[in-house]
């Protein structure tokens, strides 16, 4: 009698949203999954996500009165800018954006219906023509809600295992294909695991002295929302994967300057939803200077054109983020946390500087008359503060913010089946057998600028594709 060799697992490197989504689909396809993460706890940067996940055409959008949303593809292309217009792109940007945007509704439905994540609140972030960034109405931020729901579902499946503090140090290869991984755990001993690999190890915005200084030395000294962590892209280079847009690094316009530690190189993010739900930005002179709902690259550039300061070794700009009572209320769960951390203060309008009161009154007049903003802002979120004496005893929320290194648009090249690509003889790119990727490690979708809410989305959409494809490779083997 012959005994069948046990089926190899799908190996998932990284326990952020891309890895968790891949694991979910691989399990659904009947595979066993071994997930490895070098961090002591799961969730990566995904667990910190604060504004939400994009979806076009969802029932949550419809309940806001948006009957149809067919501008997500064009908004994404516009945001990607010149990178998208390249004559011979190294990856099929059009196909990737088409998949991202057309599968956004099903990604949101998957999380809401199968995993019971509350995504019923929808905000309009910068560069979006309509509100489409989904989060929950409760206290839990969207990243934590999504990650914990997925982890619970995965842990309930006996075919799933997660090992933390397991650092993948090499992709094992033979005959031009990836065959598995080598990893180290606390004992320092090398371990090997064979199987198809989904690489979901995140971006390099926290790798200040490594890839970031290689590709964007000009960003030295700018604080970051990413905790320091070395990038894992070298493991992909070692199997000759190719990379795209590596110098496209996103500067988010608003990281909080903590009054208790103003020079810190690590900043808490002031979620874009704060502006989306009605917040405005004011210069040191107390004046609005930019449409706060422009894309992040445009808002950051406008702030960085203002005079900057250097605190300790950190380069920062220090503008005021101000929310009226309507915007504060619409973001209560965020604001509660920021107040508790001392990053935001509540102040009566009458206690603000005279030039700030003048700007608040001017903006409140614009909103109350639904007028034309000289800076081009068209959506005012939940702003309800009236202009003039009537507002003097109302409380607004104020914090100091500065641009921060936040996200890396560049990464490994991949295709619509989430297969990692390498150069082929004679030109062009070809998939590396046995290797898939998803999430921030990949490049080519966002071009020069990512829209807020589209990272969680790419993790869910391409993570699910990668997991399903990796599992399929086992049944086809």
Contact residues toward ligand SIN (CB under 6 A) are 50-51, 269, 271-273, 407, 452-453, 455
Contact call for residue 52 and ligand FAD (CB under 6 A): yes
Catalytic residue at 275? Answer: yes
**Residue 254 C-beta: closest distance to ligand SIN, Å:** 7
Q: Identify whether the C-beta of residue 446 lies closer than 8 Å to the C-beta of residue 454.
A: yes
Count Cβ atoms below 10 Å from residue 398 Cβ, excluding itself: 17
Distance from C-alpha of 140 to C-alpha of 118, rounded to nearest angstrom = 10
| Residue 17 engages ligand FAD in binding (rule: CB under 6 A) | yes
| Structure tokens, 403 | 């641009």
- Nearest to ligand FAD of 275, 288 (CB atom): 275
Tell me how many degrees the CA angle 107-142-132 measures, rounded to the nearest 5: 55
Is residue 442 helix, strand or coil?
strand
Q: Does 276 engage in binding with ligand FAD (CB under 6 A)?
A: no
How many chain residues bind ligand FAD (CB under 6 A)? Answer: 40
Classify strands 177-184 and 167-174 as parallel, antiparallel or unpaired.
antiparallel
- Tell whether residue 443 is a contact of ligand FAD (CB under 6 A): no
Query: What SS3 string covers 161-207?
Result: EEECCCEEEEEEEECCEEEEEEEECCCCCEEEEECCEEECCCCCCCC
Q: How far is the CB of 402 from ligand SIN (least distance, A)?
A: 14
**Given 38, 135, 275, 464, the catalytic residue:** 275
Residues 189-218 within binding reach of ligand FAD (CB under 6 A): 200-202
What DSSP string runs through 90-141? SS-HHHHHHHHHHTHHHHHHIIIIIS-----EEE--TT-SS--EEE-SSSS-
What residues contact 428, with CB distance under 8 A and at least 6 apart? none
57 near ligand FAD (CB under 6 A): no
Residue 136 touches ligand FAD, criterion: CB under 6 A: no
Q: Does 316 bind ligand FAD (CB under 6 A)?
A: no
Q: Is 252 a catalytic residue?
A: yes
Minimum CB separation of residue 21 from ligand FAD in Å reads 8
Smallest distance from the beta carbon of 323 to ligand SIN, in angstroms? 14
Q: What DSSP string describes 84-95?
A: HH-SS-SS-HHH
Measure CA 59 to chain center.
Answer: 23
Binding status of residue 48 toward ligand FAD by CB under 6 A: yes
Among 11, 26, 49, 123, binds ligand FAD (CB under 6 A): 49
Question: Closer to ligand FAD at the Cβ: 35 or 360?
Answer: 35
Contact between 440 and ligand FAD per CB under 6 A: yes
Label residue 374 exposed, middle or buried (CB < 10 Å: 0-12, 13-18, 19+): exposed
Q: What is the DSSP letter of 409?
A: -
Smallest distance from ligand SIN to CB 125, Å: 7
- Subset of 342-361 contacting ligand FAD (CB under 6 A): none
Residues that bind ligand FAD (CB under 6 A): 13-19, 36-39, 44-46, 48-53, 142-143, 167-168, 200-202, 225-226, 232, 269, 407, 439-441, 453-456, 459
- Tell me which residues are annotated as active site: 252, 275
């Amino acid at each position: 009698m012959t005994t069948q060799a046990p089926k190899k697992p799908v190996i998932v490197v990284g326990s952020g949203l891309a890895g968790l989504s891949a694991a979910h689909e691989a399990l659904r396809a009947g595979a066993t999954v071994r997930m490895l993460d070098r961090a002591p706890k799961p969730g990566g940067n995904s667990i910190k996500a604060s504004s939400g996940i994009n979806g076009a055409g969802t029932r949550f959008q419809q309940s806001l009165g948006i009957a149809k949303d067919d501008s997500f593809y064009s908004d994404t292309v516009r945001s990607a800018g010149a990178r998208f217009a390249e004559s011979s792109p190294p990856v099929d940007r059009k196909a990737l954006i088409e998949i991202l945007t057309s599968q956004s509704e099903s990604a949101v439905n998957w999380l809401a219906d199968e995993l019971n994540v509350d995504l019923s609140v929808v905000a309009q972030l910068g560069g979006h023509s309509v509100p489409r960034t989904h989060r929950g109405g409760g206290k839990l931020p969207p990243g934590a809600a999504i990650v914990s729901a997925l982890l619970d579902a995965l842990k309930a499946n006996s075919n799933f295992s997660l090992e933390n503090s397991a650092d993948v140090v090499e992709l094992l290869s033979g005959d031009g294909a990836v065959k598995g991984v080598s990893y180290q755990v606390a004992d320092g001993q090398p371990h090997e695991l064979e199987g198809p690999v989904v690489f979901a190890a995140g971006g390099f915005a926290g790798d200040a002295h490594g890839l970031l200084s290689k590709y964007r030395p000009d960003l030295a000294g700018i604080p970051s929302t990413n905790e320091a962590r070395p990038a894992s892209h070298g493991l992909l280079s070692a199997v000759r994967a190719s990379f795209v847009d590596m110098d496209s690094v996103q500067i988010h316009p608003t990281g909080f300057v903590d009054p208790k530690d103003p020079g810190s190189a690590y900043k808490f993010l002031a979620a874009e939803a704060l502006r989306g739900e009605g917040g405005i930005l004011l210069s040191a002179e107390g004046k609005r200077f930019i449409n706060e709902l422009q894309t992040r690259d445009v808002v950051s550039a406008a702030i960085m054109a203002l005079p900057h300061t250097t605190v300790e070794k950190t380069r920062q700009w220090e503008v005021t983020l101000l929310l009226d009572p309507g915007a504060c209320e619409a973001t209560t769960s965020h604001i509660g946390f920021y107040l508790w951390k001392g990053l935001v203060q509540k102040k009566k309008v009458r206690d603000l500087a005279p030039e700030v009161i003048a700007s608040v009154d001017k903006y409140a007049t614009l909103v109350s008359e639904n007028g034309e903003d000289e800076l081009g802002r068209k959506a005012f979120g939940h702003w309800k503060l009236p202009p003039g004496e009537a507002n003097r005893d109302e409380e607004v929320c104020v914090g100091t913010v500065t641009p921060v290194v936040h996200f890396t648009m560049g990464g490994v090249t991949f295709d619509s089946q989430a297969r990692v690509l390498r150069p082929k003889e004679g030109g062009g790119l070809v998939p590396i057998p046995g290797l898939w990727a998803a999430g921030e490690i990949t490049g080519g979708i966002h071009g020069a600028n990512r829209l807020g809410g589209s990272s969680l989305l790419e993790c869910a959409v391409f993570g699910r594709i990668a997991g399903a494809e990796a599992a399929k490779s086992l049944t086809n083997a």
